[in-house]
């Protein structure tokens, strides 16, 4: 019973550790953004990128039933079951009330509740999100199905006899789940149980005790019980297996009656009595052997994963700690590999958890075949495995080379298709690695480093491996600082628009492109290539996009009153996330209405990535805006999907040839061919074609030679602040600005003739 409770407590500890890892990871991502107001918190956690984040987090952890962001008013802002979420308010739930009245970062475990849709029972672990002043902004929570525990309890209870039970309590003796499952008991506080008497009244934990309190009966006859309450390591939970005394002593009582019978028979049949007694002794010895084997089995279960029989996180952490101690005494390097099965959730969702379990077992077997005898392979989470590489080499370079060789071997081994139940599966893994030597490191620090490296490998495209180094950690910290600075810049209005002229041959100014610029603290300019993707990842793209639209429309309204500027158009870049927002059309029309700008002077620049997904929705939004006069330009054409279908389906007014093609047009015949093809395509479809990144007279001359008549680039002007651009525009209209005259270029194609013998 002691070993059984140890095994069950370790299972609970591993499960809760895995859930808390996801919870803390989501909490860290949110707090990394440093939100200070409720709106800033909502802006990030309600975004589609946050939805993808929580989906990604739970996809690698099948024990998580759901992950959710909750606002200050209790409304669900984002959760994994659908996006956008339905209108749900959780302000009356126990975890929300607990966090509302108890400031601090401590996690809270809720009472189990029944899902109204699926009928499954789930309890939640939650953390409060605060701003820098300690004010609550909302919650992040993950849900764990009680089946994660009850299914295990049912499996291990098969040999415990009639009247057995296994219960999982919070430390306030609220019952979270049990086997056999009882809806009448789950979620209730039990202050009359054997667990409560032993733990609360007698102060004992991790003990096997005899009790007459357990309420289970057989045939309405109260039965004495043997219970083994044990606190779960690191978490406020208690697990208690209970069996009947009758089951425990059944064999001994049966033997006792048998021996007494032999004693009576021995008065008349001494020989047979002695022989029977010897047989009885043999049964005693046999039962002792069986009990020893059972004890060894439970000890194994307490330290090994139930599915793969590999070491679990607890045993692996112990071995890693011993390896750290060894490295501290000897000049030797060891390694830690942390790997995650890519897209494992898709297999679970499409093929079922049974197939997913078989796949994980096969992954474990292949990993064992890839490592040395002195290495250790463990399953530490849902589809996460860890490998301890022992005694790689005293030289760090050689140690890294050997670790990389093992990672290459693993990548190759797991790239081979799996055949499970006649079905062919193809999967890959993302691997993070870290080395350690005489410099003392903690187990938690090494896991963190390997995990960071693994996520870098996953974000870099999956199916690869990366080493952790200090630069990775520095990159994470720099990103966090930049996000905080950007959030402050949005609030204080430190972003500005610059305007780059759009020129039509021979030298007519036809408009400008509005380009967002940010000068961070200290006058340091931050590239849009850095802060735009970061804004999309953090949910800041909406306030930034709104700022750009509002400012651009105000500029158009200003130009409409200036004789030399009234005819100009202004192009505004739209990010894919911004365009997908349900209120995008209303945002554009609202900006036009508030500023009084002419809609036909506003040109929205879309990228191919926007058009390639959900084409009907794109068509609807474009049609609504086009009815008001807004025009559209397809930016960076040729760098994305380059599908002709959306050019046919959508009314695009303008194609912009990406500067990556224009840059090498004079040196690379392939680039020249692409530019010519795009120009001919645009003209044939009745579109205006404009070339970006024009920097030399030779480039301009080539473009003119293929009938491309509109240009944008440093040959004419860099992006300018508003007042400088307006001076440039006036000078251009009045002939003060002189543009370079292009030299003619040879338009004849170069033909290479090969004679074949």
d(CA 621, CA 616) in angstroms, rounded, equals 9
Does position 603 have pLDDT exceeding 90, yes or no?
yes
Does position 75 have pLDDT exceeding 60, yes or no?
yes
Altogether, the residues listed in the chain come to a count of 757
> What's the confidence (pLDDT) of residue 547?
93
Contacts of 239 (CB under 8 A, 6+ apart): 5, 8, 9, 12, 166, 167, 168, 169, 229, 230, 232
Q: And the tokens for 86? A: 């339905």
* Span 420-424, average pLDDT: 80
* Span 23-40, average pLDDT: 85
Taking only the tens place, the pLDDT of each residue in 221-246 is: 566 778 888 888 878 888 888 887 76
> What's the confidence (pLDDT) of residue 549?
95
> What's the confidence (pLDDT) of residue 296?
65
d(CA 387, CA 584) in angstroms, rounded, equals 48
Indicate the burial class of 190 (C-beta count within 10 angstroms; 0-12, 13-18, 19 or more): middle
Q: Are 163 and 243 in contact (CB under 8 A)?
A: yes
> What's the confidence (pLDDT) of residue 236?
85
Question: What angle (nearest 5°) sits at the alpha carbon of residue 592, between those of residues 591 and 596?
Answer: 120
> What's the confidence (pLDDT) of residue 740?
67
Taking only the tens place, the pLDDT of each residue in 109-120 is: 988 888 765 677
Q: What is the CA radius of gyration of the chain?
A: 35
Q: Are 639 and 667 in contact (CB under 8 A)?
A: no
**Dihedrals phi, psi of 574, to nearest 5 degrees:** -120, 125
Q: Which long-range contacts (CB under 8 A, 24 or more apart) does 92-99 make?
A: 93/124, 95/124, 95/126, 95/139, 95/141, 96/70, 96/126, 96/139, 99/126, 99/127, 99/128, 99/136, 99/139
Does position 135 have pLDDT exceeding 60, yes or no?
yes
> What's the confidence (pLDDT) of residue 512?
95
> What's the confidence (pLDDT) of residue 487?
86
Percent of the residues in the chain that have a pLDDT greater than 90, as a whole number: 27
> What's the confidence (pLDDT) of residue 649?
72
d(CA 539, CA 33) in angstroms, rounded, equals 10
> What's the confidence (pLDDT) of residue 246?
67
Taking only the tens place, the pLDDT of each residue in 49-61 is: 788 888 877 766 6
Distances (CA, A) of 30 to 5, 137, 750: 37, 11, 57
Min mean pLDDT across 359-363, 449-453, 590-594 is at 449-453
d(CA 507, CA 503) in angstroms, rounded, equals 6
**Dihedrals phi, psi of 593, to nearest 5 degrees:** -70, -45
- Using alpha carbons, select from 99, 95, 85 the residue that is nearest to residue 130: 99
* Span 67-77, average pLDDT: 93
DSSP 395: S
d(CA 632, CA 228) in angstroms, rounded, equals 71
Contacts of 116 (CB under 8 A, 6+ apart): none
* Span 251-264, average pLDDT: 56
d(CA 111, CA 750) in angstroms, rounded, equals 77
d(CA 661, CA 670) in angstroms, rounded, equals 9
CA 95 to chain centre: 24
Confidence of residue 295 (pLDDT cuts 50, 70, 90): low
* Span 161-169, average pLDDT: 82
Does position 749 have pLDDT exceeding 50, yes or no?
no
* Span 546-557, average pLDDT: 95
- Using alpha carbons, select from 126, 131, 153, 222 the residue that is nearest to residue 11: 153
Angle formed by the axes of helices 313-329 and 270-303, to 10°?
70
Q: What is the pTM of this model?
A: 0.52
Q: Are 244 and 163 in contact (CB under 8 A)?
A: yes
Q: Which long-range contacts (CB under 8 A, 24 or more apart) does 295-300 make?
A: 295/3, 298/3, 298/4, 298/6, 298/7, 299/3, 299/6, 299/7
Does position 710 have pLDDT exceeding 90, yes or no?
yes
Look up tokens 């820098």; give the residue. 132
Q: Are 660 and 635 in contact (CB under 8 A)?
A: no
> What's the confidence (pLDDT) of residue 96?
92
- Using alpha carbons, select from 464, 467, 524 the residue that is nearest to residue 494: 524
d(CA 706, CA 478) in angstroms, rounded, equals 46
* Span 156-166, average pLDDT: 76
Taking only the tens place, the pLDDT of each residue in 684-697 is: 888 899 999 999 99
> What's the confidence (pLDDT) of residue 136?
92
User: Which of the listed ranges 157-171, 369-383, 478-492 does the model predict with the highest average pLDDT?
Assistant: 369-383
35 versus 251: which is more confidently predicted? 35
Beta strands in 664-745 (DSSP E): 688-691, 710-711
> What's the confidence (pLDDT) of residue 640?
56
Where residue 140 falls (left for φ over 0; alpha for ψ -120 to 50; beta otherwise) is: beta
Q: Are 228 and 208 in contact (CB under 8 A)?
A: yes
* Span 40-44, average pLDDT: 89
Confidence of residue 63 (pLDDT cuts 50, 70, 90): confident
> What's the confidence (pLDDT) of residue 217?
45
Confidence of residue 525 (pLDDT cuts 50, 70, 90): confident
> What's the confidence (pLDDT) of residue 747?
45
CA 102 to chain centre: 28
| Beta-ladder partners of 242 | 165, 227
Min mean pLDDT across 44-48, 81-85, 207-211 is at 207-211
* Span 672-699, average pLDDT: 91
* Span 407-411, average pLDDT: 91
d(CA 536, CA 517) in angstroms, rounded, equals 16
* Span 66-86, average pLDDT: 90
> What's the confidence (pLDDT) of residue 218?
46
Where residue 21 falls (left for φ over 0; alpha for ψ -120 to 50; beta otherwise) is: alpha
* Span 652-675, average pLDDT: 89
Q: What's the mean per-residue pLDDT of the chain?
A: 82
* Span 648-659, average pLDDT: 84
Q: Containing H/E element for 456?
A: helix 443-459
Confidence of residue 288 (pLDDT cuts 50, 70, 90): low
What domains sit in the chain, N to C, each tagged with a CATH number? 2-148 (3.30.450.20), 313-460 (3.30.70.270), 496-733 (3.20.20.450)
> What's the confidence (pLDDT) of residue 140?
94
């Amino acid at each position: 019973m002691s070993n059984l409770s140890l095994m069950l407590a370790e299972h609970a500890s591993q499960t809760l550790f895995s859930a808390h890892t996801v919870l803390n990871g989501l909490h860290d991502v949110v707090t990394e953004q440093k939100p200070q107001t409720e709106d800033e918190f909502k802006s990030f956690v309600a975004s589609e990128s946050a939805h993808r984040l929580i989906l990604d987090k739970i996809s690698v952890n099948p024990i998580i039933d759901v992950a959710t962001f909750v606002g200050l008013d209790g409304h669900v802002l984002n959760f994994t079951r659908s996006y956008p979420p339905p209108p749900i308010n959780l302000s009356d739930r126990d975890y929300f009330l607990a966090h509302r009245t108890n400031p601090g970062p401590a996690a809270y475990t809720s009472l189990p509740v029944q899902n109204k849709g699926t009928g499954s029972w789930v309890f939640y672990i939650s953390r409060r999100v605060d701003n820098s002043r300690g004010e609550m902004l909302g919650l992040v929570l993950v849900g764990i199905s009680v089946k994660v525990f009850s299914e295990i309890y049912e499996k291990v209870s098969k040999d415990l006899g009639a009247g057995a039970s296994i219960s999982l309590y919070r430390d306030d003796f609220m019952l979270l789940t049990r086997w056999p499952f009882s809806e009448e008991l789950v979620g209730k506080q039990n202050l009359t149980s054997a667990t409560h008497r032993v733990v609360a009244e007698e102060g004992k934990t991790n003990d096997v005790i005899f009790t007459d309190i357990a309420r289970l009966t057989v045939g309405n006859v109260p039965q004495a019980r043997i219970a083994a309450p044990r606190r779960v390591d690191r978490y406020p939970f208690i697990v208690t297996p209970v069996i009947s005394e009758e089951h425990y002593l059944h064999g001994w009582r049966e033997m006792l009656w048998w021996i007494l019978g032999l004693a009576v028979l021995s008065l008349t049949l001494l020989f047979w009595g002695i022989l029977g007694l010897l047989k009885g002794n043999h049964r005693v010895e046999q039962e002792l052997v069986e009990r020893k084997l059972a004890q060894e089995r439970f000890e194994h279960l307490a330290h090994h994963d139930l599915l793969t029989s590999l070491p679990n996180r607890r045993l692996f952490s112990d071995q890693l700690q011993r390896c750290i101690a060894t490295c501290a005494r000897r000049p030797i390097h060891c390694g830690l590999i942390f790997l995650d099965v890519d897209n494992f959730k898709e297999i679970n969702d499409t093929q079922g958890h049974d197939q997913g379990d078989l796949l994980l077992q096969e992954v474990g077997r292949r990993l064992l075949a890839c490592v040395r005898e002195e290495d250790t392979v463990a399953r530490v989470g849902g589809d996460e495995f860890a490998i301890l590489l022992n005694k790689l080499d005293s030289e760090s370079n050689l140690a890294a080379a050997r670790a990389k060789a093992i990672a290459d071997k693993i990548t190759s081994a797991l790239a081979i298709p799996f055949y499970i139940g006649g079905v062919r599966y193809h999967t890959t893994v993302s691997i993070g690695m870290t080395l350690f030597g005489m410099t003392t490191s903690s187990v938690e620090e090494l896991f963190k480093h390997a995990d960071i490296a693994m996520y870098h490998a996953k974000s870099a495209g999956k199916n690869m491996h990366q080493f952790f180094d200090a630069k990775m950690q520095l990159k994470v910290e720099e990103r966090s600082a930049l996000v905080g600075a950007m959030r402050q810049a949005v609030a204080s209005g430190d972003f500005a628009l610059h305007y780059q002229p759009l020129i039509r041959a021979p030298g007519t100014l036809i408009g400008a492109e509005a380009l967002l610029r940010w000068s961070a603290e200290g006058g340091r300019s931050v590239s849009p290539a850095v802060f735009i993707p970061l804004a999309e990842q953090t949910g800041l793209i909406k306030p930034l996009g709104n700022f750009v639209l509002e400012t651009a429309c105000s500029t158009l309204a200003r130009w409409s009153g200036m004789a030399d500027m009234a005819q100009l158009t202004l192009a505004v870049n739209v990010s894919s996330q911004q365009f997908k927002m349900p209120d995008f059309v209303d945002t554009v029309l609202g900006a036009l209405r508030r500023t009084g700008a002419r809609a036909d002077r506003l040109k929205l620049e879309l990228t191919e990535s926007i058009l390639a997904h959900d084409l009907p929705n794109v068509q609807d939004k474009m049609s609504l805006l086009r009815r008001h006069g807004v025009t559209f330009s397809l930016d960076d054409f040729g760098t994305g999907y380059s599908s002709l279908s959306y050019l046919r389906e959508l009314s695009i007014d303008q194609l912009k040839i990406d500067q990556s093609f224009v840059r090498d047009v004079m040196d690379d015949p392939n680039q020249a061919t692409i530019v010519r093809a795009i120009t001919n395509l645009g003209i044939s479809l009745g579109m205006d074609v404009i070339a970006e990144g024009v920097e030399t007279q030779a480039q301009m001359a080539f473009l003119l030679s293929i009938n491309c008549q509109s240009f944008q680039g440093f040959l004419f002007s860099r992006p300018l602040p508003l007042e400088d651009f307006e001076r440039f525009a006036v000078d251009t209209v009045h002939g003060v600005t002189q543009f370079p005259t292009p030299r003619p270029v040879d338009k004849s194609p170069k033909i290479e003739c090969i004679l074949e013998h």
